Structure 1
Amino acid sequence: MDAVLALADGRIFHGVGFGAAAVRAGEVCFNTAMTGYQEILTDPSYRGQIVTLTYPHIGNVGINPEDAEGREIFCAGLLLRTLPRAASNWRAQEDLDAYLRHHSIPGMAEFDTRALTRHLREHGAQNGALAVGNTLDIDQVLAAARVFPGLEGADLIAEVTDGKRHEWARCSPSPEHDYLSQEQRQAKHHVVVVDFGAKRNILRLLADRGCRVTVLPPQSSSAEILSLGADGVLFSNGPGDPAALTQAQDTMRAVVEAGIPTFGLCLGHQLLGLALGGKTQKMKFGHHGANHPVRNLRTGRVLITSQNHGFAVAAESLPDSVEVTHVSLFDGSLQGMRHRQLPVFSFQGHPEAGPGPHDASVIFDEFVASFATRKDHAPA
């Protein structure tokens, strides 16, 4: 099939279509990861975005259900340099082309993804529209790009969550490639995860550390959260503009003030910044990839991290009660912070990886270790 990508500034790219014959609009971004395309496609944080993968060999290991980070493909479209002719991996159950068709997502390949990436780096994130089909009207595709409202002010949480409470008990795969349950690994702690679009690997890594995990819908009140008597609360990743989630900010502020160990991750990090009195801002083209260096200011150690965010907390807007703990070595943007008196901290990147390196997974250990602090000071 034919395919065309139209950017709102008028730049047009032509290529070969795959996946679904459809027109989808979204913010066009680029991701520099070399592996993990299935995890990227199923990451709820990509809602409302058309993803360009800069690595040229994407799709050659096919698709399998175990690598999905969510229940469906959440991005609006996929852009590749080259689509492989066949998937070659013993775990593959279908190829990338069929996977996109089954989820009604269009894709485009056989065009210059480097030129697109350079354009986005120079001019910033662009609204765009991707069209796949045999009779394409470029003017209509361009119009679709220009009427897309963008991600600033967008509340997309309801589109990626099911609004239901559930328990999570699956750990990470063992060397034998099966999953252990909490009955096989005794749970020592109870964690509440407020789900704004949580990736499954976040839940697995908590279970790995002996946590019984209760996942609550994003509209849950602070009273509902605190009534469960959990050892800690994690506010998850998710899509859209954190400034639009005013109820979530109020909820997080109340949980923080209650003194319970609290961890904000990605969108949860941004919400914590707002809840503590700071401000967030839209980034020029965001951070999307699996090779981003982040410095821990407390230890001097550099972590190679997975990243996926288009908004950032403005460090200069934070009150004196908040300590900056991590910064990006790419652009100096805020990557982590900690309250100076309360057991509250956050991280902008993705310590759960999926895809990406595991350097930052120690942050989950820090979260679990904070539970003991609360128990030591709990009222008799």
Structure 2
Amino acid sequence: MKYPTRKKATLLLQDGTTFTGHSIGKEGTSGGEICFNTGMTGYQEIYTDPSYFGQIIVNTTSHIGNYGALDSEVESDKPTIKGLVVNDFSKIYSRTKATESLQEFLERNNTVGIGGVDTRKIVRHIRTKGAMNAIISSELEGEALQAELDKIPSMESLELSTKVTTKKAYELGESNKGFRVAILDLGIKRSILKNLTDRDCHCKVFPAETTFEEMEKWNPDGYFISNGPGDPAVMDYASTTVAEVIEKNKPVFGICMGSQILAKAVGIPTYKMHHGHRGLNHPVKNLRTGLSEITSQNHGFAVEMEALSKSDVAELTHIDLNHDTVEGLRLKNKPAFAVQYHPESSPGPNDSTYLFDDFIQLIKENK
């Protein structure tokens, strides 16, 4: 494609810090909570992950767009991010099977971004000051830009899963194979669904606010609680449903937000992290096997470690080796477990895909 001359763009952070670069993607104005992802590949999967809804993503990799975009490498129908911040935005791409440039992909999906800025400096600032709201614009400056930034709500106490969940239930997989898995969609990724259907699961994906009674009518063998955006502390509708699933001794597996909701369902609180964990290289130790895994992560909230350690009903199963935060938990007398990271993402090795097999085994044991 002919690469257009880009307009000047401004990135304004909540604390007043300003960066100037050029517009990428769609020209315009957009804001949300700014955070960073350290993954060196997979930018298209990041931008389309529903868990990033309401956030501006800073890519720490210096060159973005150099392998273009491919229709099959998406985790949802379109990008869910509120904005994109990069250092060098590539004008060309080299992958022959790419269907379009990243610029075309972002423009087509109305995604606003800024390039030509010092992302290393931005990331160091966020690591020091913490995640905060920010806004990108190629239209506004000064007081007008600040006024728009002031309108953006804080991510803390913000419920977002109902913004990205499916509007109506749908089914995947072959009905005459494997087990029936009911999925509570809080913002699920397509690669999670693929991991389940690849194991011959017949899945039915339900909207976030679906009750246990309604899902149970489908007569599932097990329940899956998905990833998703926002603050789990304000998602009583989801934790109430999961508590009812647990009470009926149904097998449960949760990922990311699903881990936080499982904890909340048994009275263990969550908290907002300083700047979150987002990347492809986070080491996690499985305390039950003693083995470590290189994991993909994307979360700005976490389960309280102290509360979990004091719990009579749940126990820690996985721990982050960088930060000693909760990465997995299981219920002691119920067939339910969850992890904070993303075993479906395959950040290089497939260290964590055994968790899907563990879920199938749990269903078999409780059928």
C-alpha separation in 2, matches of 1:20 and 1:27:
19
- For 1:167-246, what aligned pairs fall within 5 Å after superposition? 167-169=171-173, 182=174, 187-246=177-236
Which of 127, 146, 149 does residue 142 from structure 1 map onto?
Answer: 146
- For 1:319-338, what aligned pairs fall within 5 Å after superposition? 319-338=311-330
SS in 2 for 1:66: coil
Q: TM-score, normalised by structure 1?
A: 0.92
Cα 1:351/1:230, change in 2 over 3 Å: same
Does residue 269 (structure 1) correspond to residue 269 (structure 2)? The answer is no
Does residue 364 (structure 1) correspond to residue 356 (structure 2)? The answer is yes
Match of 1:66 in 2: 72
Would the aligned equivalents of 2:295 and 2:346 in 1 still touch at CA under 8 Å? Answer: no
Letter of the 1:13 counterpart: F
Which of 36, 41, 52 does residue 46 from structure 1 map onto?
Answer: 52
Match of 1:179 in 2: none
C-alpha separation in 2, matches of 1:44 and 1:243:
18
C-alpha separation in 2, matches of 1:290 and 1:275:
28
Q: Give the deviation of 1:355 after TM superposition.
A: 5.6
Would the aligned equivalents of 1:128 and 1:144 in 2 still touch at CA under 8 Å? Answer: no
SS in 2 for 1:331: coil
Q: Give the deviation of 1:27 after TM superposition.
A: 0.4
Does residue 3 (structure 1) correspond to residue 32 (structure 2)? The answer is no
Does residue 12 (structure 1) correspond to residue 18 (structure 2)? The answer is yes
Structure 1: 5+ residue stretches without partners: 170-181, 376-380
Match of 1:77 in 2: 83
Letter of the 2:344 counterpart: E
C-alpha separation in 2, matches of 1:367 and 1:356:
22
C-alpha separation in 2, matches of 1:190 and 1:268:
19
Q: Give the deviation of 1:146 after TM superposition.
A: 3.2
Would the aligned equivalents of 2:162 and 2:209 in 1 still touch at CA under 8 Å? Answer: no
Letter of the 1:252 counterpart: V
- For 1:84-123, what aligned pairs fall within 5 Å after superposition? 84-123=90-129
Match of 1:303 in 2: 293
SS in 1 for 2:260: helix
C-alpha separation in 2, matches of 1:40 and 1:60:
15
Cα 1:62/1:162, change in 2 over 3 Å: same
Match of 1:378 in 2: none
Identity %: 41
Letter of the 1:226 counterpart: E
Relative to structure 2, which stretch is displaced further, 313-322 or 43-52?
313-322
Deviations 1:332-373 (A, max 9, x none): 110100011111000000111166642111111101110111
Q: TM-score, normalised by structure 2?
A: 0.95
SS in 1 for 2:276: strand
Match of 1:172 in 2: none
C-alpha separation in 2, matches of 1:341 and 1:43:
33
Would the aligned equivalents of 1:297 and 1:327 in 2 still touch at CA under 8 Å? Answer: yes
C-alpha separation in 1, matches of 2:60 and 2:294:
18
Structure 2: 5+ residue stretches without partners: 1-6
Would the aligned equivalents of 1:352 and 1:361 in 2 still touch at CA under 8 Å? Answer: yes
Would the aligned equivalents of 1:3 and 1:15 in 2 still touch at CA under 8 Å? Answer: yes
C-alpha separation in 2, matches of 1:354 and 1:105:
26
CA RMSD of aligned residues (A): 1.3
Would the aligned equivalents of 1:80 and 1:108 in 2 still touch at CA under 8 Å? Answer: yes
Does residue 343 (structure 1) correspond to residue 347 (structure 2)? The answer is no
Cα 1:272/1:356, change in 2 over 3 Å: farther
Q: Give the deviation of 1:187 after TM superposition.
A: 2.0
C-alpha separation in 1, matches of 2:133 and 2:185:
27
